[in-house]
Amino acid sequence: MIEEAPLRRTEAGLAPEGDGWFVVNAREARWRDDGPLGFYTPFAGEVRFPRIGVNLAVLEPGQPSCMYHREDEQEDFLVLAGQCLLLIEEKERSLKAWDFVHCPPWTEHVFVGAGEGPCAILMIGSRTPEAGVVYPSSELARRHRAGVATETDAPQQAYEPFPESVGVPYREGWLPER
């Protein structure tokens, strides 16, 4: 029988302890402030989920979710609220609530908040210990402050200009009301 993981209260919200099952409301979960890259909750505790990564990201208009990249794992995304731009394979697509995006391995992509207010995106991807990632040089991504000048496969190089994320509690207005 799998035991329930207790939820520990932190300054940034509730976080599970251990490998057990748990239930947590997104508004009560532990959140991270990623500076110019928006806010997100990974739902996991100190240890990331080993097989599937799940993040709920909130982007303000003009904020990219990360740096334009491609990786050797599948990723899937569901826009839950608001509007954003999807930069994908050197194309730009406008998205709104309930638009779903599937990225097979090695699909170049990034999301950028758009519209009048916050955009909430559910992000899901598989995880492997040796996952490969490439941050290609893209003029389109650079125009949206989401691209590197020189292609690299080193995340620390791609994210060098950004501050470390910090834990923050959920702020009213990030997610739509029921």
My answer on whether 26 and 42 are in the same domain is no
My answer on whether 2 and 89 are in the same domain is no
What mean pLDDT is reported for the chain? 95
SS (H, E, C) the chain: CCCECCEEEECCEEEECCCCECCCCCCCECEEECHHHCEEECCCCCCCCCCEEEEEEEECCCCECCCCEEECCCEEEEEEECEEEEEECCEEEEEECCCEEEECCCCCEEEEEECCCCEEEEEEEECCCCCCEEECECHHHHHCCCCECCCECCHHHHCCCCCCCEEECCCCCCCCCC
**Structural domain range at position 134:** 37-161
My answer on whether 26 and 44 are in the same domain is no
172 within some domain: no
Position 47 scores a pLDDT of: 81
My answer on whether 110 and 23 are in the same domain is no
My answer on whether 25 and 69 are in the same domain is no
Q: Tell me the pLDDT tens digit for each residue of 98-149.
A: 999 999 999 999 999 999 999 999 999 987 767 799 999 999 999 999 999 9
